[in-house]
Amino acid sequence: MNEKPKIKVLVVDDSALVRRIITDALERDPEITVVGNANNGKTAVFKSFTLDPDVITMDIEMPIMNGLEALREIIRVNPKPVIMMSVLTQYGAEVTFKALEYGAVDFVPKPSSVLSMSPEELSAQLIAKVKAVAKSVIRIRPSRFENEKESSDNKDSFKYEAPLKMDSLSKGGKSGKLVGIGASTGGPSALMKVFSSFPDNFPAPVLVVQHMPEGFTKAFAERLNSSSSLEVKEAEDMDKVLPGCGYIAPGHSHIILEKRAGEFLIRLSKSEKVSGHRPSIDVMLSSIAENYTSELIGVIMTGMGRDGAEGISKIRQKGGYTVAQDEETSVVYGMNRVAVELGGVVDKVPLEQISKKIVEHL
């Protein structure tokens, strides 16, 4: 019997210790082999050709050529799934989200930046992400990189298409509906595309669960806020749910919808993980299905596992409109696939059409 080929990984970091930690973490799994390593971006670009890895883990701060520059070059000339190793700082978060815009498929915190993460937890997270993205097809348009300045003050690396128009509703108008969106692997860049396409007078609140390590969700909310017409923030306990606002679940808590004195509020909960996650998409979508008194729109996007599949099915059962990102535009067709198989999805569309479908059903 032919043995299944191992997933080949190239580990890139300027620290020999971190390279060793990542290599050991990955090689705990018999289906993964580390075929090489590099201590700077220039060597990484070279080895991405010579070793032909299935996945690359990439540090950001390195000599000679940094991780962002190396990522751009790899995506431009020899696209591979790249997982960024991100430092838990404001700067680290900003650069990480820029890397996701450039074509990195996901990120994990560097071992040195998450002191509370055990070797077992690091290993499990890395292995799961490497396996999930190993067969991803990287669809990047080279034109994204043309005529771009290299300078760090170039904040917005590229703009998505112009936002949709919503002429039928006045600025600040209400539709009475609520939108719940769930995403995981590949989700940050996909969500940036959706949020940047919302119209100026978007009339509904939007609740989002994106699987992301604690400490990165606030910076991600700020990133979405800067590129969207919505007022986007990291959700806080007792936030009022208001039209034209987006609420991103913090990396440490479930978000639950509660009605009190005629208003809808967000409650945060650090209860046990659900579907393997906290925050859980299932918790959020199930909560809005149970507690929201008007119509709902549920969205399930790219990501591994099955979190959100049951929650979005509850929204459909209640008569809400549900839409899933299709396989062709997903980095990982996992959660959305399970949701479709469970019968929880009305429409399955490419990423570029998700915001259009949401607007059509407001």
* Dist CA 315 CA 312 (whole Å): 5
Q: Which pLDDT belongs to residue 117?
A: 65
Question: Per the structure block, which two tokens stand in for 225?
Answer: 């806020």
Contacts of 362 (CB under 8 A, 6+ apart): 166, 169, 175, 177, 202, 203, 204, 297
Q: Does 231 lie in the same domain as 89?
A: no
Q: Which pLDDT belongs to residue 325?
A: 97
9-13 mean pLDDT:
97
CATH number of the domain at 220, please.
Answer: 3.40.50.180
Tell me the catalytic residues. 184, 211, 307
pLDDT at 249 over 50: yes
**1 pLDDT band (50/70/90 cuts)?**
low
Please indicate, yes or no, if residue 248 is contained in any of the structural domains: yes
pLDDT at 255 over 70: yes
CATH number of the domain at 22, please.
Answer: 3.40.50.2300
Please indicate, yes or no, if residue 55 is contained in any of the structural domains: yes
Please indicate, yes or no, if residue 290 is contained in any of the structural domains: yes
**175 pLDDT band (50/70/90 cuts)?**
low
Peptide bond into 279 cis (omega under 30): yes
Please indicate, yes or no, if residue 121 is contained in any of the structural domains: yes
Share of the chain above pLDDT 70, in %: 87
The strand pair at 263-269 and 239-240 is best described as antiparallel
Q: Which pLDDT belongs to residue 116?
A: 56
Please indicate, yes or no, if residue 2 is contained in any of the structural domains: no
Please indicate, yes or no, if residue 303 is contained in any of the structural domains: yes
Query: Minimal CA–CA distance to 182: which of 79, 89, 288, 68?
Result: 288
Q: Does 201 lie in the same domain as 103?
A: no
Q: Does 132 lie in the same domain as 13?
A: yes
85-100 mean pLDDT:
85
pTM equals 0.86
pLDDT at 209 over 90: yes
Q: Does 118 lie in the same domain as 197?
A: no
The domain in which residue 190 lies consists of 178-360
Per 3-state DSSP, the chain is made up of helix, strand and coil in percentages (nearest 5) of 35, 20, 45
| Residue whose entry in the numeric block shows the structure tokens 């596992």 | 305
Long-range contacts of 66-71 (CB under 8 A, 24+ apart): 66/41, 67/12, 67/41, 67/99, 68/95, 68/98, 68/99, 68/102, 69/41, 69/150, 70/12, 70/41, 70/42, 70/44, 70/45, 71/99, 71/102, 71/103, 71/104
Q: Which pLDDT belongs to residue 70?
A: 97
Q: Which pLDDT belongs to residue 4?
A: 83
Q: Which pLDDT belongs to residue 151?
A: 37
Q: What is the pLDDT of residues 309-325, one digit of tens each?
A: 999 999 999 999 999 99
Please indicate, yes or no, if residue 167 is contained in any of the structural domains: no
The count of structural domains within the chain is 2
Contacts of 79 (CB under 8 A, 6+ apart): 103, 138, 140
